[in-house]
Each structure stands twice: as C-alpha cells, then as structure tokens.
Structure 1
Amino acid sequence: MHEIRLTPKTEIDARIRHLQAQLAEEGVDAALIIHHTNMFYYSGTSQSGHLLIPRQGEPLLMVRRSFGRARAESPLAQILDVQSLKLLPALLAEYGCASERVGLELDLLPVNLYHRYLGLFPNTEFVDISMLTRRQRMIKSPYEIELLEASAAVLDAVFAKVPAWLHAGMPELELASRFEAGMRQRGFGGGARMRSFNQDFFMGNVHAGKSAAVPSFFDGPVGGPGTSPAGNPQGAGWGCLQRNEPVYIDYASCIDGYIADETRMFCVGRMPEDMRAAYEAALAVEAAVLARARPGVLWEELYQRALEVVADTGLGDFFMGPGPDRVRFVGHGVGLELDELPVLAPKLRQPLEAGMVFALEPTFVFPGGAVGIENTHLVEATGIRTLTRAPREIVCVS
C-alpha cells in the first residue's frame, strides 16, 4: 500500500530560511502566502488559509479549512484555526510581526481580495513577492529531484503500455482514458497545476492525425479539439485512430505534487515519410539544444539554437504550432507547476543554473497531424541529465 508522503521538516525549514533571506535583502517585513502552490511549498500542506513568514522568526500558519488536516500534514510548530480575515491584523500584532512592508503574490491575487487587505492594513505597504517565490522554486533540491524522477518513471511505465493498446478505429478518448488510468494507478493525483491566468490543463493530449492541428486557448504547440467548446476545450476529441497517420501523445505526470512532461509518437500501420522526416528534425533540434545547454548559457540562446536547426530543415512555418497559433518558446520549467521557470524563449537573458528542471518540446504541426518529442531535463553542474527515458523511436504497430 502506498503511504502518503509528507514533506520533511528539514526541507520546509530550508525553504523558509531562503525566503527570509530574500525578504531581508528586499527590505520586506514579512510574506503573506495565500496561493495553494506556495502554501504547499513553504508549509507542507495545501489547506486553505494564510501563511505568515516574517523576515525573522518562526512562521505562523493560519488555517481556514481544514485545520485538522493542516496540523497532520505540516511540520510547522505554530498552526492556528483562523476563520475570518478580520482577525489577521490582531494576530500579526500579537505575534509581534512588523507589517510596514508586507509581500503578497500579486501576480495572481484577486483584486477584490487585495482591496480587503488594504482595508485591514491601512498603514501597510504591500509589495509583490511573486518573482521571489518563483525564482526560489526554480532551483530544485535533491528531495524535489527525487520526486521529479518518480514522476518521470510513471510516464515511462505507461508509455511502455501504449503499443499493446493501439488499433485502427480506436477513439482518441479511449486511448486517453487508458493512459490516464495507467498514471492514476501509479499514484498520479489527477491534475497538473498552472500559474498563468486562465491556463487550465487536464492531464495531457492524445491526437490522431489532423486532430493535433486544431488550435486551442492553451499556450502550447498542440491544442486539440477536446470534447466541447465548454469547460476545457483541448486535448483528445471524438475522433478515432486511422491507419498510416501520426498518433501524438503528450502527458504530464504529477507525483507528490511534482510534474514531469513527456511526448512520444506512435502509428497504426506506417508513418508517412514526410511526418517521419519532420520527426527526425525534432530529434535534431532536441540534440542541438541539449548539446548547448549547461549552467551559464542564457535561456534565449537555447531558443535561438532551436531556430537555427529548424531553419536548415525548411520546416520553420510549422515549428511550435501552425501559423498565427505558434507559441514563442521551445521549453518550459516544471516542478509544482507546469509553467515554471526557466522558459526557453526570446528576450529572456537569464542563465541556466544547476538545479533547474525544464521540459524541452520541439514540435512540428501540419494540417495532417503533429510530430514532436518532449523530455524533462535536469541541469547539473556539468551539463544535462534527462529524467524521462521512454524510447525515442516512433513506435508503429500493425
């Protein structure tokens, strides 16, 4: 039986100390954490409430729901049951926390809630600490890397099952449900969090042929029709697998909160030669980018390296999406969220650092389908270590 994994106290303590050092450097008295991703990262629980992290001293977790579960999951010493926002000023004063400058996650905090804080703390200057937390989470600890490896292993295991499932006439939704069941049976929690506003992600994509060319709101090279314009209009649709067309499968696994991302190509029958050639181009892009990637290399350099390789193939019009629906990146960070830093995109001149983890996804999208490769990679001191390890070859079944 799988046991629930709780974040070790040593891990939580190290994260809090790091943020406290950043708060001191920025002249911020305290951080008031609300968003569930950061709540989990700094406290070990995703329960609803507020986490106060002062520049000095012990944090205070104020829980609205569920207090009992938060106490069971979090290693923090000071956890209170707080059912009203109106209690916050008195609690901070009683706790002895300075509140002249308080940090909030302003990149995603609702405006109406922000105005409530302004009313509760009329003498407080609120500042944005979103990037402080995102840049901290960008560098993974050995504990986090272990969880990312476990998540990658789930993807590899389920991808190994796919050839036995494939047959002409199989609905995309049936193949998707089998893949998703395989992940769930191995501990996948059922969703992948995203930070970007209005970016929802289910589990992944299964597309047969031209289904992959249907664009969507989702900020990725492949969208898909989904089952309806309502709700979550992306991913597998009502179409079926046909012989001799590409089957594109892209999934994000999430084990104990940490996300790995992987894409592999399949076919019932024979892969068309033009699609096979484009897939070889995607492999060439991946190899060239990884050969360049190491600590100190700028994120935008890796994007430009991808474009250089694509230019030699003559397939630039199809790279990373069709026409106006093309995305302007070739890779993205993963961790507790699917859209973390780093982002391999133009005009981002930050360097790679050891401990970063990113998914590299060179993809070509044509009217008749999509081909691409995606793997999750760890930046180490000497280069890159790939965490997702399913065979890269196109798998064709008769």
Structure 2
Amino acid sequence: MTRVVYTPGSEVDARVEKIQQLMAPAGLDGVIVTHHTNLFYFSGTSQSAHLFIPVTGQPVLMVKKSYERAQKESPLYRIVPLKSLKKMIPLLRDMGFDHLGRLGFELDIMPYNTVVYYRKVLEGHHILDASGIIRQLRLIKSPYEIELLKHSCLVLDQTFSKVPSMLRLGMREVELAAGFEAELRANGFGGSTRMRAFNQDLLFGNIVSGSSGNAPSYFDGPVGGHGLGPANHPHGAGWKKIETDEAVYIDYTCVVNGYTADAQRVFVMGTLPDDLMKAHDAALEIQEKVTRVIEPGMACHVPYDTALEMARAHGLEAHFMGQGPDASRFVAHGVGLELDESPILASGFDMTLDVGMTFALEPKFVFDHGAVGIENTFAVTERGVEKLNRFNEQIISV
C-alpha cells in the first residue's frame, strides 16, 4: 500500500522563492497560476483555485472549490476562499499588493476564450506569458522529487514482474492491459498521466502484440497500436489476440504521488524471430552507450546522434523509433509531473543537460511483425545518469 504524501512546506517555499527570483528579469509584478499541474507544484494542492505569487512576499492561494481540502493539502500560509474572479484584484489589494500592473499567466496551455475573459476581468492590467519561467523552474527536480519518482519506478517494476502470471495464450491485448492497469491502481497509481501538449491524451500506456506494434497512431511516440477504435482512444491495446512467438510489447507510465515513471519491456510466449532478438540486443547496447556518455553540460542532440549512429551501424536505421513517415525523431523525453517535459533528446536540440533533470530513454525498433526495445527512467547526476528502474531488461519468455 502507498501512503498519501503531502508536499512539505520547505519544498513549496523553495519553489516559490526560485520563481520570484525569475520574475523581475521577466518584467513581472506577479504570477497567477491556474493549471492544476502547476498549482500542485507551487501549492501542494490541485483544488480549483488561483495562486497568486508576488515578486516579493508570501503567495496567496484563492480557492473556489474545495477550500476545506486546500487547507488540508497545502502548506501555504495564506489560503482564502474566492467565489468570483471579479473580486480577485480587490482581495489582493486589501492584502497589501498594490503593484499588479504586469501579471504572468500560463499562456502556453490556456484556452483563447479564457485569456479573453481574464483580459476583461483584469482590464487595466497587462497579461503576460509566465509559462517559460515555470517550465524552466520545473525542469530541475529536487532530491525530494526524485525520491517520489523512484517510488513510481518501483511500483512500475513490481507490476512488470506480475506479467508472467497474467499472460495467457489467446487473451486480447486489452485484457492484458486491464490486468496490468489494475495492478498499478492497487499500488497507488492515481489513474491518469498528465501531458501538456495539446490533444496528446494518454490513458496509462501501451500494450501491443505482434503486428500491432507496427500500427501507427496519432500519439507522438515510436509505437502506436490499434486501440479500441477511432472513437475510443485510438492508440495502444486493442482487440487483437496474443499469439505464440510474437513480441508482447508493454510500455507504461506509473504516477504515484504526482511523479511519472515511464518504462517498457518485452515478453513472449515461445521464441521471437532472430531479427527481433537482434534488434532488442541493439537497443540494449544503445541504452548502455548513451547513458555512459551523458554528462552535465552536454547538448541534448548528442545522445540522440549517438543512438542514431549506433542504429545505423547495426543496419537498423529504417526501423529505429518507428518505420517510414510515422517514425519518431527523438530518443528520450523529460518526465516529472507531466509525461512530456523537457529535456528532449533529439536532433537539433541545443539545450544542455544539468543535474536534477529526469528523462525516459527509449531506443526502440519497429518491424512489420512486431516492436522491441527498452525504456527506463533516468536522473542526471554530477557523475552522469542514474537509472531509476530495476526490472529485467532482457526479453522475458513465459
């Protein structure tokens, strides 16, 4: 059983202090946080609220619903009810905040109509984009955050270990997915994986078998899957029955107490064809080489270039990270409170890696008859990288 974790006050205070240091250079008098992920990051609660963080002074959490839960969950000192946005500025002025001319909002994900409404309610105030400094701050995880991420990885590893007892000849992909997901839920997975990108919905993860591994989908990843149809999340596990001697590819997230682990393994009932076995070995070699060369200060394109060069050397470039026009052009993505964070290890990305960044590295190969590869969650350390998943990386025969 996983215990409920409340974000410590010291953690929230440090985050508030860091974003305040970024506000003045950005020309902001304050930031108003509304998106649930950022609300949780800066306040410790995801209740319906507006969090005002001034350039100096204590933040104010203004709660629409539920005020009672927000008081219990957040370590912030100033928590007040707010039933109408029209009362937000007068409330802040009554609390002594007189300089509110330039306010930052999360304009990277805020719907246009919502922005129009805020401009109306906040007439006379400049609405600016604070999403860049928020992403910059969330990019580096604290030791506290990495410990939570390690626990999510542990739960995911433990769930992979249960697959041999779940897997049956002739069962449908969606049946195996249901069993896998039930195990995750029973051990603390909250039931959703947050993504920031528009229209990139994700349930829990992806289970495909055999030729389903080559089924393309809208999802920005190397392996698609048929899903249950065009109206029911057209990605991942579908109605196909799992057969002998084909790759059972399982790629899942696990979010316990907010932080997103991401890992993938391959199972088989019988024996895989030689080309898939060799491709899987190549993926393990790529993972080993890439993680060995990564160090703080390295540009994000270097690990991708290394992985692509190794795939080419193995004669597998045409299968690397997908096939044809649907292939993905990255080898790793950041993870944290959301699945699609920075850093992105991809061609042309010059951002440099730094201590505290966390990412999922996923060298994979896709063929007409199946998908193989490896994925694990890593943290950048002063010495290189630390692998946070521990489960067996070889193809597991059941």
TM-score w.r.t. the length of structure 2 is 0.98
The SS at the match of 2:330 is coil
Amino acid corresponding to residue 375 of structure 1 in structure 2: N
Cross-structure match for 2:382: 381
Deviation at 1:2, TM superposition (A): 4.5
Q: Report the alpha carbon displacement of residue 84 of structure 1 after superposing the two structures with TM.
A: 1.4
CA distance in 2, matches of 1:302, 1:126: 38
Matching of residue 366 in structure 1 with residue 367 in structure 2: yes
Counterpart residue identity of residue 333, structure 1: G
1:79 aligns with 2:79: yes
- Residue 356 of structure 2 aligns to a residue whose secondary structure is coil
CA distance in structure 2 between the aligned counterparts of 1:194 and 1:243, rounded to whole angstroms: 34
Give the aligned partner of residue 50 of structure 1. Answer: 50
On the 8 A contact 1:190/1:203 being kept in 2, the answer is yes
Contact 1:319 1:326 in 2 (8 A): yes
Within a 5 Å distance, the mapping from 1:170-209 to structure 2 comes to: 170-209=171-210
2:308 corresponding residue in structure 1: 307
Give the whole-Å Cα distance in 2 for the aligned partners of 1:239 and 1:131: 43
In structure 1, the residue matched to 2:259 is 258
Instruction: Show structure 1 runs of 5+ residues with no match.
Output: none
d(CA) in 2 for partners of 1:83, 1:320: 49
- Secondary structure at the counterpart of residue 89 of structure 1: helix
What amino acid does structure 1 have at the position aligned with 2:373?
A: G
Structure 2 residue matching 1:229: 3-state secondary structure? coil
Give per-residue Cα distances to partners, 1:46-77, cap 9 Å, x unaligned: 00121000000010111111111111100111
Q: Which residue of the partner structure matches residue 29 of structure 1?
A: 29
> Are the aligned partners of 1:89 and 1:120 in contact in 2 as well (CA < 8 Å)?
no
Report the secondary structure of 1:330's partner residue.
strand
Separation in structure 2 between the aligned mates of residue 253 and residue 275 of structure 1, nearest angstrom:
27
Q: Is the 8 A contact 2:173 2:208 kept in 1?
A: yes
Partner-residue secondary structure (3-state), 2:223: coil
Residue 375 of structure 2 aligns to which amino acid in structure 1?
A: E
State the aligned residue count: 397
1:11 partnered with 2:35: no
Cross-structure match for 1:346: 347
Aligned counterparts, 1:1-398, within 5 A = 2-97=2-97, 98-397=99-398
- Give, in angstroms, the shift of residue 145 of structure 1: 0.8
CA distance in 1 between partners of 2:317 and 2:128 (Å): 42
One-letter amino acid of the structure 1 residue matched with residue 188 of structure 2 = G
Tell me whether 116-125 or 73-82 shows the greater mean CA deviation. 116-125
Cα distance in structure 2, aligned partners of 1:338 and 1:44: 19
CA RMSD for the aligned pairs? 1.1
SS of structure 2 residue aligned to 1:87: helix
Deviation at 1:165, TM superposition (A): 2.2
Equivalent pair of 2:2/2:187 in contact (CA under 8 Å)? no
User: 1:255/1:166 Cα in 2 relative to 1: closer, same or farther (>3 Å)?
Assistant: same
d(CA) in 2 for partners of 1:311 and 1:380? Answer: 29
Shift of 1:91: 1.8
Tell me which stretches of 4 or more aligned residues in structure 1 moved more than 4 Å: none
Segments of 5+ residues of structure 2 without an aligned counterpart are none
Distance in 2 (alpha carbons) for counterparts of 1:131 and 1:396: 46
Q: Cα deviations across residues 315-344 of structure 1 (Å, max 9, x unaligned)? A: 111111121111111100101000011110
Secondary structure of the equivalent of 2:321? coil
Cα separation, 1, equivalents of 2:288 and 2:214: 25
Q: Equivalent pairs: percent with the same residue? A: 49
Question: Which TM-score applies when normalising by structure 1?
Answer: 0.98
Q: Which amino acid aligns with 2:269?
A: V
CA distance in 2, matches of 1:220, 1:2: 30
Cα distance in 2, alignment partners of residues 78 and 316 from structure 1: 55
**1:144-199 deviations in whole A, cap 9, x for unaligned?**
11100100000111111112222321211111111111111111111110000111
Corresponding letter in the other structure for 1:309? M
Tell me the distance in 1 between the aligned counterparts of 2:191 and 2:90. 39
SS at match of 1:52: strand
Question: In 2, Cα distance between the equivalents of 1:86 and 1:233?
Answer: 41
| Distance in 2 between residues matched to 1:88 and 1:326, nearest whole Å | 47
Between 318-327 and 116-125, report the one with greater CA deviation. Answer: 116-125
Corresponding letter in the other structure for 1:174: E
1:63 and 1:81 in contact (8 A); partners too: yes
CA contact (8 A) 1:252 1:261 kept: yes
What amino acid is aligned across from residue 138 of structure 2 in structure 1?
R
SS for the counterpart of 2:337 is coil
C-alpha separation between the residues in 2 aligned to 1:311 and 1:215? 22
1:135 offset after TM fit, Å? 1.6
- Which amino acid is the alignment partner of residue 354 of structure 2? E
1:241-260 residue CA offsets vs partner (Å, 9 max, x unmatched): 11111110001000100011
Please give the secondary structure, in 2, of the residue aligned with 1:80.
strand
